Amino acid sequence: MEQGFCLNTLKKLAAEPDYTDVSLAAAERVRALAKMGGLVEVQEDIAPKRYFRSGVEMERMAAVYLEEGSLENAYVLYTKFITLFVEKLPAHRDYQHCSLPEKQVIIKKLQEVAFPRKDELKKRLHEKYNREHTEYLRAQGQESVMVDVCSQQMQHLSLLSEDRRRCLLLKEERQRVATLQRMQIESEQFRYFEDQLRRQELANRKAEKEELKPIRDHEQSQGAHLNRMRLPVSISQPAAPLTGVHTHRVEALRRLVVPSNLTHRFLLLADSNTSRGIETCGVLCGRLVRRVCSPGDPSHLSFSRPSYLCLPQTHNEFTLTHVVVPKQSAGPDFCDMENVEELFRFQDQQSLLTLGWIHTHPTQTAFLSSVDLHTHCSYQLMLPEAIAIVCAPKHNDAGVFRLTSSGMSEVSVCRLKGFHPHSKEPPLFSVCKHVVLKDSKISLLDLR
């Protein structure tokens, strides 16, 4: 027992602090979050301008988390933002030679937004975690008190039980003596008849056998008849297994609403390129909105509780509202965006989030190529709910995809360029399950 305790203690000490562990002090939990925010890597072969643009998206996403009350996610993202642009990116070989509008925006965001909000979030998290830790300690104290009370009650019951046991033993002894006395009296009363009964029994035994014989024969024949009429007992068969029942929970992603006519309208816009066998790409933009789900809404149902306990709740979901087609250079199997500053300016003016991207495969089916995997990885790193829509007009098909956890792990560390092989098992991308089609308005902006 002692050895096991020591081993568990060592494991706990060796493990990384878990910010969700309410038994930890508030400062330790906040430090665990800060450590998560410090996990930022800068690669020399990626131009600083891409980091600056990612920073704009990062700050906007942190503001979204803050607005929806996700303090931990907001704190981690603001910490990443500060770590990236204060500690890591200035060491990039090309940092001193780049002068971009986004660089000035980032510096301003650091001073006016990131640092103040991080400090405010740190204070709020300390207050929240202190409350949770106090409740934890109170619960632990109450549990200790309850143990003491239960111990005292058990001791009291033990004393009561001992007294009651003695009373019961005394009562049983009295009943035993009374029974013996009664049996003795009855034995004396019937002793006189005992001999007569024995003699009568011997005299009548033969006659009784003769009388009982026809009755036994009748009962045996009756029993045989009943056995022939009785139906065999049926053995219950196990119920047939249910097939096609979805038992796996979808990843913890917020719902993303996509207009049902999006692909149709995008293909109309891309038709001139498609007819020449050239790809077309665009950026999916939208907003985070709050929605109240009713108990009958499938997205409201939870696997963790029965449907009759589901009350109307407020959920946050992304709604795709705009598709922006920037200037681009394209061919039969590639599409590169150019002059993206126009796209960024439009997003900033409209306060739009980047929710993913869309492109065509004029001659191929709908899937994610190795180049597509790398392209989408950057979108999904910034927003887990980001989607990649691939339209294959030749095959009258379209798919909405995202990288799997295996895909993110492999592609995020891959440094190869152009088309190259990747693992096939486990799958690196899959069809999105958090996307809902809806008859809603979509605006297309062509900046070409």
Q: How many CB atoms lie under 10 A from the CB of residue 65?
A: 20
What's the Cα-to-Cα distance from 351 to each of 65, 325, 384, rounded to whole Å?
Answer: 15, 17, 19
Res 14: pLDDT = 44
- Tokens representing 374 are 């790398």
User: In this structure, are strands 281-293 and 353-360 parallel, antiparallel, or unpaired?
Assistant: antiparallel
Please report, in tens digits, the pLDDT of each residue of the chain (448 residues total).
444 444 454 444 445 567 888 888 899 999 999 998 888 888 787 778 778 878 888 888 888 888 888 899 899 999 999 999 999 999 888 888 877 777 888 888 899 999 999 999 999 999 999 999 898 888 887 766 666 667 776 776 666 667 677 777 777 777 766 666 655 555 554 444 445 545 555 655 665 556 545 544 443 343 333 333 333 333 233 322 222 222 233 357 889 999 999 999 999 999 999 999 999 999 999 998 876 555 555 444 333 333 333 444 455 789 999 999 999 999 998 999 988 888 888 988 898 999 999 999 999 999 999 999 999 998 888 788 999 999 999 999 999 999 999 999 899 888 888 888 898 899 999 999 999 999 999 999 999 9
Single out the residue of 340, 377, 329, 332 nearest to residue 356, CA to CA.
377
State the Cα–Cα distance between residues 349 and 56, nearest whole angstrom.
13
pTM over 0.85: no
Q: What is the pLDDT of residues 317-327, one digit of tens each?
A: 899 999 999 99
CA distances from 37 to 41, 139, 149, 286, 426 (A): 11, 31, 46, 26, 29
Q: Per DSSP, what are the bridge partners of residue 330?
A: 335
Q: What phi, psi does 124 have (nearest 5°)?
A: -65, -40
How far apart (Å, rounded) are the C-alpha atoms in residues 207 and 391?
A: 103
Which residues lie closer than 8 Å to 44 by C-beta, 6 or more apart?
92, 93
CA-closest candidate to residue 367, choices 410, 407, 405: 407
Cis peptide before 427 (omega within 30 of 0): no
Closest to 443 in 3D by CA, of 375, 373, 347, 335: 347
**Which pLDDT value is given to residue 365?**
93
